[in-house]
Amino acid sequence: MKAKYLYIYLFGLFSIVVTSCEDRLNISKQGNLGSEEDFYKTDEDAEQAVANLYYSLHDIYYNWFFTKNLLADDVWSGGGSRGDNSSMEQLNEYNFGTDHAMIEELYSGMYSVIYSSNLIIDKVKADTDVKKRAIAEAKFFRAWAHFELVTMFGTAPIVDHLLASSEYRQSNGNAEETWAFIESDLNDAIDSDILPSKTDVDDQETGIRVTKEVAQAYLGKAQLFQGKYAEAAATLDEVIESGKYALYQNGFDMLLHAAANNSCESMLEVQMRNDTEQIWNTFTMLHIMQGWRTDKLSYSTDVKTYIASGTYGFANPRGELYDAFVAMEGKDGYRLNCTMRTYEQMKESGITLQSGAYLYGSEGYFMWKNRPLKEDCVLDFSAFQALQYIDLRIMRYAEVLLMAAEAHVQGNVSQAKALKYINEVRSRAQLLALVTVSLDDIKKEKRLELCLESVRYQDLVRWGDASSVMIDQGKDIPSFSADGVEYLNQNTVYGFKDKHKLLPIPSKELLVNTNMHQNEGW
């Protein structure tokens, strides 16, 4: 099947109903891709069900991305002014409760992925290779969603089948059982021998869907998070030694742009398409929110030819992140200048702050790795940039290398392999090779390499670093103007506390399900 048609499948060429409801553990039996009698029978049915499953990640990605990155310490919430998006501010400042809308949506979104997965696993008969692959992919995504639930909510229930009405009120799960379930699903997907491997690092057609190596990468990640370091090292070594993935070498500053869609470094990403006929399948608020606050900036004539305007200025990089880059790379560091820029550098590029304007939630630093580019737009709407075809990144190969390096160091498995893996990442960043590697080296490298890529919050929690790193997060909120940085907004409630090691089970879940209890401290 040609790549064009695989893309079409992954964007739901068939009109499939996506169930939406308040409580994802209380899902009515409607809209499940057709009735049992006339659907899930053919290969075509299975492919359409898989298309719906993949597209469900598109539906939840915005909330997944912002919730995790705002909870970490690399960015300020930002926006036009205080209160522009109070939900995002509350996350970023650790001033949220059990009824927080984005946390509720993250929780229910994971169960929508699980529901779409269970539809395939329970209803598709594994009597052809196409159907077997559909089931393997569904098991992968069911494991992926449970991974997010156990690492952030801890006691969220396992849902391993389509629930009967008598089963809607599940009790809390526990981490040990959930981890075992995640490993079981991933091993089933891997051992099915039906997930393909890429033919080589440049095989984009195979790589737009889950491969065997992607499933192995997530198995290794699950083992790493459990402290099974030797097992994680062995699993992640297999991914690396397969030779199917490599670091992208055509500019670090293009990794999060359409030019690098399905590149040699892409492990798992939600597919987008440069197709005006499918324009609303492309729509996402992700990029318009992350882009600079363009209504307060002026662009030179040259800049206007390639930078897209009409973005809102959320997720501005913190000064602490800049300092961390400078400590490792110096102010002229290649990766630093591909990742973020100072205001002085922006002015040199032809971008200036308008007279009398200020940038809320900013210390005068600008994210560059995800800068809004006209070349990424399906349609360039200068006042509303929500139609880009940048694939939505979930995992790239650099993360695999750094997880493997950590597993080898933490498990005292192979210092040589740990050095090899971290130095591959450093070489691409144009840094000198290390001669020894410690866990602290890996922590620093991972922060810089993967900042704003939805991994740091869970890492800080599992490393036990969140309490110290984010103890004062949200205390004072900066605003940047031509006069410098001012702290005009202060909070009395702020900072990571012990209870934040797990997010709260949304209060609405507890209202409809008396068999569940709240996480400790909430």
Q: What is the pLDDT of residue 80?
A: 97
Give the ranges where 355-512 is alpha helix by DSSP (H).
397-410, 415-428, 439-449, 456-463, 466-469, 507-512
Q: What is the pLDDT of residue 36?
A: 67
**Whether residue 466 has pLDDT greater than 80:** yes
Q: What is the pLDDT of residue 93?
A: 98
Q: What is the pLDDT of residue 383?
A: 86
Query: Which of the residue ranges 2-11, 41-50, 98-107, 471-480 would you say has the lowest mean pLDDT?
Result: 2-11
Give the ranges where 72-100 is alpha helix by DSSP (H).
86-93
Q: What is the pLDDT of residue 15?
A: 34
Show Cβ contacts of residue 490 under 8 Å, excluding neighbours closer than 6 positions.
475, 476, 477
Residue 443's pLDDT band, with cuts at 50, 70 and 90, is very high
How large is the average pLDDT for residues 366-376? 98
With b for 16 or more beta-carbon neighbours within 10 A and e for fewer, the 506-519 pattern comes to beebbeebeebebb
User: How confident is the prediction for the chain on average, in pLDDT?
Assistant: 93
In tens, the pLDDT along 179-217 reads 999 999 999 999 999 999 999 999 999 999 999 999 999
Q: What is the pLDDT of residue 20?
A: 32
Residue 145 one-letter amino acid: A
With b for 16 or more beta-carbon neighbours within 10 A and e for fewer, the 435-461 pattern comes to eebeeebbbebbbbbbbbbbbbbbbbb
Question: With pLDDT > 90 as the criterion, what percentage of the chain qualifies?
Answer: 91
Contact 102, 67 (CB under 8 A): yes
Q: How far is CA 22 from CA 97, 105, 359, in A?
A: 18, 9, 36
**393: its two tokens:** 């990144």
Residue 262's pLDDT band, with cuts at 50, 70 and 90, is very high
**Whether residue 33 has pLDDT greater than 50:** no
Residue with the bigger pLDDT between 25 and 174: it is 174
Q: Which DSSP letter does residue 49 get?
A: H
Residue 486 one-letter amino acid: E
Residue 337's pLDDT band, with cuts at 50, 70 and 90, is very high
Q: CA 153, CA 255: separation in Å to the nearest integer?
A: 30
Question: With pLDDT > 70 as the criterion, what percentage of the chain qualifies?
Answer: 93
Query: What are phi and psi for residue 177, nearest 5 degrees?
Result: -70, -35
Residue 38's pLDDT band, with cuts at 50, 70 and 90, is confident
User: What is the distance between the terminal CA atoms of the chain, rounded to a whole angstrom?
Assistant: 51
**Whether residue 491 has pLDDT greater than 90:** yes
**Cross-strand bridge partners of residue 352:** 298
Show Cβ contacts of residue 216 under 8 Å, excluding neighbours closer than 6 positions.
186, 190, 235, 236, 238, 239
How large is the average pLDDT for residues 261-284? 93
Residue 28's pLDDT band, with cuts at 50, 70 and 90, is very low
Q: What is the pLDDT of residue 8?
A: 36
Query: What are phi and psi for residue 316, nearest 5 degrees?
Result: -85, 135
Q: CA 467, CA 452: separation in Å to the nearest integer?
A: 20
Residue with the bigger pLDDT between 36 and 274: it is 274
How large is the average pLDDT for residues 280-287? 90
Q: What is the pLDDT of residue 518?
A: 98
In tens, the pLDDT along 144-189 reads 999 999 999 999 999 999 999 999 999 999 999 999 999 999 999 9
Which residues of 271-361 form beta strands (DSSP E)?
297-299, 314-317, 340-342, 351-353, 358-360
Q: Which DSSP letter does residue 128 get?
A: S
Q: What is the pLDDT of residue 279?
A: 85
Q: Work out the number of other CB atoms within 10 angstroms of the CB of residue 116.
A: 27
**Whether residue 12 has pLDDT greater than 70:** no
Q: What is the dihedral of CA 26, 30, 31, 33, to 10 degrees?
A: 100
**Whether residue 29 has pLDDT greater than 60:** no
